[in-house]
Structure 1
Amino acid sequence: MVNAKQAAARPGILGTLVRKFFMNVVKSPGLLACCLFPALFLLLFRFVVIEPIAHDDARMFLLVTGMLFSTSMVPGTTTVYPMAEAREKRTLRTMELAGVGRAQMLAAHGIVSTLWTALVAAACFLVSGASFDSMPPFMLVTVLSSIPLIALSLALGLASRNQMAASFSSLPIILIGIAPMLFVYAEATFQALPLLPTGGGFALVYALAEGTLFASASIVPALAQLAWIVVSLVAFIIVAPRIPCDE
C-alpha cells in the first residue's frame, strides 16, 4: 500500500487522472450521447422549428437554452455516473489503496466536468449562430455558472453507491440547472433569478443576447452568481470529508 506522503510525492497523478476520466466519457456511448444532446437539440430546434417561422427572439432562446443545458446536463453526466460506477465496481477503493488521494480524484473529476461543460457550451454557441464577439463572455459566464452544480455533482457522486443511485441523484442537478426557464414568464419572477444557483448566469446570458451585458443591471446577477460559487465550494469542502468512504 502507498501511504499519503508517498502519493503526494508522485508527479503527474492529477494530469493522469484527468486524461483517464475525460477519455472514460469519450468511450462511454451513453455519457457521450448525454453530452452531445444539448448541441443536437439546439441544432434541430434552430433549423426545424425556428427557421420556418423566423422567430424574432430565436438567437436569445438558443443562447440561454444552450447555457442552461450545458450547466445542468453535463456535470451530472460526467461526474455522478462515473463516480458511482467506480464505487460500485470497487475501482475507487482500489485507486485509494494504490495511493491516489480522495482530494486528487475529486479535483480530477471537477476539472473533467468543467472541460466537458466548456466543450458543450462552445458547441451550443456555434449552433446558435451568434456573433463570435459574444463567444468569450458566453463561455466565461457558462463555465462559472456551472461550478455550483459541479460541486453538487461531486458530493452526490461520492454519496452514490451504485449506478441506480446515480440515476436518482443526477435528477436534482438537472432540475436545479434548468429551473431559471420557469422564471422568465413574469417580471417579478425574473427579478428573483439570482436566488437560483444558475440564475445569475442565466440573467447575464440573457443580457448578452440583448446587448446589455455591461449595463448596471448586470451587477446584481453577477454578484449573486459569484456568491453561489463561493457558497457551493465552501459547502462542498465542509461536506465531502463527512461522506463515508468504501469499507
Structure 2
Amino acid sequence: MAASLRKLGALLDKDARDLLKNPTMVVAVILPAAMILLYHFVYREPLAVADGDPAVRVLIDGLFLASALCLSVGMVVSMTLIYGIAEEKEKHTLRTLMLANVSAGQVALAKGIVCLATTLVVGALCFALTGVGWGMFPAFIALTALGAVPVILLGLVLGLASRDQMTAGLYGTPILLLCLVPMFAPIAPEAEAVAAYTPLGGVCELLRLLLEGSLTPEAAALPLAVTAAWIAVGAVAFKLLYRRLAQDN
C-alpha cells in the first residue's frame, strides 16, 4: 500500500511538472478566460439591463456560468489530458514507466487527478471573470468537478486510442464540441434540444436551477441521472480499454 502511494505521488509530481511545461496548458488557461472576457464585450448591453432586471440577471449569469464550466472542462481535457497521454505514447515514456513496475491504472489515476485539479483551477479563474456573486462559487466548483468526471474518463479512453499527438488532435475535437453544446443552449433552440443529454448538460441544468431558486429533488432527478449515466459509460469504456496504456507504440 505504501509503495503504491509513493508511486502515485511520484506520478502526480511528474504529470504536474509536465503540464506546467506544456504550451498547450497555457492555451487551455488563456482561451477559456479570453472567451469569458469576450462575452462581457458581446453582452455589454444585456449586462447593463441586468442591473435593474432580476430576470435578465439570472439569464446572463446562467449563460456566463455555463460557458465558464463548459470551456474549463472541455479545453483542459481535450488539450491537456488527451494530448498528454498521446505524447507519452509517442515518446515511449509509458514503456519506461511500465518497466519501472508502474501499473496502467496508476498512470491513468495520476493523469485523471492532475487533469481534474487543473480543470478546477481554470474553472475558478473563469468564475472570477464572470462577475457572478461569489455566493455561487461553492456550487459552481462542485458541479464543475462532478461534470469533469465523465469527460475525464472519456478523455482517458480517447488518449489510450491515440497513436500520436496528431491523432489526439482528431480525437479531442469531438470531446471539445460535445462539452460546448450546453453553453449555446440558452441562445440556440437547436442546441437546447440535445444539450440536456450531453456529458455537461446535467450539471449546467443544475446550475440554472440553482440560479433560479427552483432546485428541488424532483427537478434535479433528470440532470443527475444524465450525469450518472455518462459517468457509468465513461467508467465502463475506461475499464475495457485502460490496459492499452501498457501498450507503447
CA displacement at 1:16 relative to structure 2: 1.6
Q: Which amino acid counterpart does residue 24 of structure 1 have in structure 2?
A: D
Q: Given the superposition, is the C-alpha separation of residues 11 and 62 from structure 1 closer, same or farther in structure 2, using an over 3 Å criterion?
A: closer
Count residues with an aligned counterpart: 240
Tell me which residue corresponds to 1:12. Answer: 6
CA displacement at 1:21 relative to structure 2: 0.9
Q: Given the superposition, is the C-alpha separation of residues 164 and 104 from structure 1 closer, same or farther in structure 2, using an over 3 Å criterion?
A: same
Tell me which residue corresponds to 2:24. Answer: 30
C-alpha separation in 2, matches of 1:146 and 1:11? 24
- Residues 175-196 of structure 1 show CA distances to partners (whole Å, capped at 9, x for unaligned) of 1111224544577974754422
Which segment drifts farther, 68-77 or 8-17? Answer: 8-17
CA displacement at 1:237 relative to structure 2: 0.9
Alignment of 1:31-46 (within 5 A): 31-46=25-40
Alignment of 1:66-81 (within 5 A): 66-81=68-83
Q: Given the superposition, is the C-alpha separation of residues 184 and 98 from structure 1 closer, same or farther in structure 2, using an over 3 Å criterion?
A: same
- Residues 23-74 of structure 1 show CA distances to partners (whole Å, capped at 9, x for unaligned) of 212112232222331122202322x233355253332211111111112111
Q: Which amino acid counterpart does residue 43 of structure 2 have in structure 1?
A: I
Alignment of 1:138-149 (within 5 A): 138-149=140-151
Q: Does 1:49 align with 2:51?
A: no
CA displacement at 1:85 relative to structure 2: 0.8
Give the one of 152, 169, 172 matched to 1:170. Answer: 172
Tell me which residue corresponds to 1:137. Answer: 139
Tell me if the contact between 2:95 and 2:248 (Cα under 8 Å) persists in the aligned partners: yes
SS at match of 1:12: helix
- Residues 100-132 of structure 1 show CA distances to partners (whole Å, capped at 9, x for unaligned) of 211110000110111111111111111112122
Q: Which amino acid counterpart does residue 26 of structure 1 have in structure 2?
A: L
Give the one of 96, 99, 102 matched to 2:101. Answer: 99
CA displacement at 1:148 relative to structure 2: 1.3
Q: Does 1:85 align with 2:78?
A: no
TM (normalized to structure 2)?
A: 0.86
C-alpha separation in 2, matches of 1:82 and 1:159? 12
TM (normalized to structure 1)?
A: 0.86
SS at match of 1:118: helix
Q: Does 1:115 align with 2:92?
A: no
SS at match of 2:43: helix
Give the one of 60, 77, 85 matched to 2:62. Answer: 60
CA displacement at 1:82 relative to structure 2: 1.1
C-alpha separation in 2, matches of 1:14 and 1:205? 33
Tell me if the contact between 2:65 and 2:130 (Cα under 8 Å) persists in the aligned partners: yes
Tell me if the contact between 1:78 and 1:112 (Cα under 8 Å) persists in the aligned partners: no
Which segment drifts farther, 147-156 or 206-215? Answer: 206-215
Tell me which residue corresponds to 1:3. Answer: none
| % same residue | 35
C-alpha separation in 1, matches of 2:100 and 2:217? 52
Q: Which amino acid counterpart does residue 232 of structure 1 have in structure 2?
A: G
Tell me if the contact between 1:67 and 1:142 (Cα under 8 Å) persists in the aligned partners: yes
The two structures, once aligned, show a CA RMSD in angstroms of: 2.5
Structure 1: state its 5+ residue gaps.
1-6
Tell me if the contact between 1:194 and 1:221 (Cα under 8 Å) persists in the aligned partners: yes
C-alpha separation in 2, matches of 1:58 and 1:99? 51
